[in-house]
């Protein structure tokens, strides 16, 4: 996976989060790819996690079964991009980049 | 919309010095209706623990429309919203038995955790089967 594709995936994940969680007044540029999604960072909560898991599975066919796996996957947008690529959804990720 | 109902009588100790029910008791009444639902599907708290899970409430909301008073018989009813994620959202209504007027309506959201507190994002096995039966009851095909 090239850096360029990774960048595209990061952008798509930001869009997915904004759309799924209906974040108002938040643009992709407001989300720092290296910051935590939960707690500090974006300040998402457990209900947000449940919605994101469903959206990510639908979009990338990648399962996040529990918060233990989620801790790694949701550590940051960069971590989530790595997780999606590692779980073998590289093709969908590339397609989504267009 | 399908509801599961139960009734209770407002006790003297549940009203405040103004003669109206203290607001926190409505959540305890919601619980009566929720338990009535859960026992039908072997999903009572002890059943959850037996399967290795708990289902803590992470959000609770109530709107108070009309006061309940001592000795009023009230109907409490619960409805399960169709789950979109691994969570349970119940909607509640409390009505006055004698005229059917709406006293309060509210909602609770529960998430699912293992006994060690790890939140689960996907349900499987026996828990999934029982939850599915409950969903089917409220949302028959």
**What pLDDT score does A2 carry?**
63
**What pLDDT score does A65 carry?**
96
Beta carbons of B120 and A65 less than 8 Å apart? yes
All domains of chain B, ordered by start, with CATH?
4-134 (3.10.129.10)
Contacts of A47 in chain B (CB under 8 A): 58-59, 85, 87, 109, 111
Beta carbons of A67 and B87 less than 8 Å apart? no
Q: What angle do CA B125, A54, A73 make, to 5 degrees?
A: 95
All domains of chain A, ordered by start, with CATH?
3-97 (1.10.1200.10)
Mean pLDDT of chain A: 86
Contacts of B119 in chain A (CB under 8 A): 46, 49, 66-67, 70
Contacts of A54 in chain B (CB under 8 A): 84-85
Residues A49/A70, Cβ–Cβ less than 8 Å: yes
* pLDDT exceeds 60 at position A95: no
3-state helix/strand/coil string of B81-106 = CCCCCCEEEEEEEEEECCCCCEEEEE
Place A88 in a pLDDT band, splitting at 50, 70 and 90.
Answer: low
**What pLDDT score does A6 carry?**
72
By C-alpha distance, the chain B residue nearest A64 is B121
By C-alpha distance, the chain A residue nearest B110 is A47
Per-residue pLDDT reduced to its tens digit, A8-56: 999 999 999 999 999 988 999 999 999 888 877 777 888 999 999 999 9
Nearest chain A Cα distance for residue B85, angstroms: 6
**What pLDDT score does A1 carry?**
56
Place A92 in a pLDDT band, splitting at 50, 70 and 90.
Answer: low
Residues B96 and B75: their CA atoms lie apart, in Å, by: 6
**What pLDDT score does B70 carry?**
96
> B89 and chain A: CB distance < 8 Å anywhere?
no
Q: Tokens for B133, please give them.
A: 């039966």
Output B83 or A90, whichever has higher pLDDT.
B83
Instruction: Note down pLDDT in tens along chain B; length 141 residues.
Output: 899 999 999 999 999 999 999 999 999 999 999 999 999 999 999 999 999 999 999 999 999 999 999 999 999 999 999 999 999 999 999 999 999 999 999 999 999 999 999 999 999 999 999 999 999 999 998
Residues B120 and B95: their CA atoms lie apart, in Å, by: 35
* pLDDT exceeds 80 at position A82: yes
Residues B92/B77, Cβ–Cβ less than 8 Å: yes
Beta carbons of A67 and B84 less than 8 Å apart? no
Nearest chain A Cα distance for residue B28, angstroms: 23
Beta carbons of A66 and B121 less than 8 Å apart? yes
* pLDDT exceeds 80 at position A94: no
* pLDDT exceeds 60 at position A89: no
Chain B interface test: which of A22, A38, A44, A46 (most B C-beta within 10 Å): A46
**What pLDDT score does A38 carry?**
86
Q: Tokens for A51, please give them.
A: 């919605």
* pLDDT exceeds 70 at position A97: no
Please report the ipTM that was assigned to this predicted complex.
0.82
Beta carbons of A66 and B58 less than 8 Å apart? no
Contacts of A45 in chain B (CB under 8 A): 58
DSSP string of A72-95, one letter each residue: HHTS-HHHHHHHHHHTT-HHHHHH
**What pLDDT score does A98 carry?**
45
């Amino acid at each position: 996976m090239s850096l360029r594709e990774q960048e595209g995936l990061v952008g798509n994940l930001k869009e997915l989060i904004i759309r799924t969680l209906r974040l108002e007044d938040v643009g992709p540029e407001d989300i720092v790819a290296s910051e935590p999604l939960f707690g500090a960072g974006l300040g998402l909560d457990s209900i947000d996690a449940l919605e994101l898991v469903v959206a990510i599975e639908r979009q990338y066919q990648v399962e996040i079964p529990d918060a233990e796996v989620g801790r790694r996957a949701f550590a940051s947008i960069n971590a989530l991009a790595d997780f999606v690529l590692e779980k073998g959804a590289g093709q969908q990720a590339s397609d989504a980049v267009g | 919309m399908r509801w599961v109902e139960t009734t209770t009588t407002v006790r003297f100790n549940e009203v405040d010095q103004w003669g109206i029910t203290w607001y926190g008791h409505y959540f305890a009444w919601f619980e009566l209706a929720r338990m009535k639902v859960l026992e039908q599907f072997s999903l009572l708290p002890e059943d959850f623990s037996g399967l290795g899970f708990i289902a803590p409430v992470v959000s609770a909301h109530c709107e108070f429309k009309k006061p309940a008073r001592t000795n009023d018989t009230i109907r409490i009813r619960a409805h399960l919203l169709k789950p979109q994620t691994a969570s349970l959202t119940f909607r509640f209504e409390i009505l006055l038995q004698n005229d059917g007027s709406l006293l309060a309506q509210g909602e609770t959201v529960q998430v699912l955790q293992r006994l060690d507190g790890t939140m689960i994002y996907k349900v499987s096995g026996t828990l999934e089967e029982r939850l599915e039966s409950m969903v089917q009851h409220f949302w028959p095909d």
